[in-house]
Amino acid sequence: RKEVEQDPGPFNVPEGATVAFNCTYSNSASQSFFWYRQDCRKEPKLLMSVYSSGNEDGRFTAQLNRASQYISLLIRDSKLSDSATYLCVVNSPGGYNKLIFGAGTRLAVHP
């Protein structure tokens, strides 16, 4: 079983749509959670951290369910510029800053 699992997609949605991505992680001792965004042939960039109480940044909302070991990302009012791969990321417990990435979910927003 992979440590972080995501639906690879692709998700093809029209502009203005709401889209949700889900992710599960296997290590219940994980403490830090993130969503990174990666454009084609570019480096991953931190989109947002994910907190237990849920958090929002503009059109983006992240949720964490520790009991189910489940993380989600909701994008409202999709823009063409949101087209990218979204990587679910978990910080491995172990005393150093090791990130474990899912394989990513591709999003394509079309006019």
Partner 1 sequence: ETGVTQSPTHLIKTRGQQVTLRCSSQSGHNTVSWYQQALGQGPQFIFQYYREEENGRGNFPPRFSGLQFPNYSSELNVNALELDDSALYLCASSLSNSPLHFGNGTRLTVT
102 touching partner 1, by CB under 8 A: yes
Tokens of 80: 């063409």
Q: Any idea which residue has 């907190």 for tokens?
A: 51
33 touching partner 1, by CB under 8 A: no
Give the amino acid at 93.
P
Annotate each residue in 48-67 with x if it binds partner 1 (CB under 8 A) or - if it does not, as one string: -x------------------
- Part in contact with partner 1 (CB under 8 A); list of ranges 10-18, 43-51, 59-67, 74-82: 43-51
Is the bond leading into 10 cis (omega within 30 degrees of zero)?
yes
- Cα–Cα distance between 77 and 82 in angstroms, integer? 10
- Give me the least distance between CB of 15 and partner 1, in Å please: 26
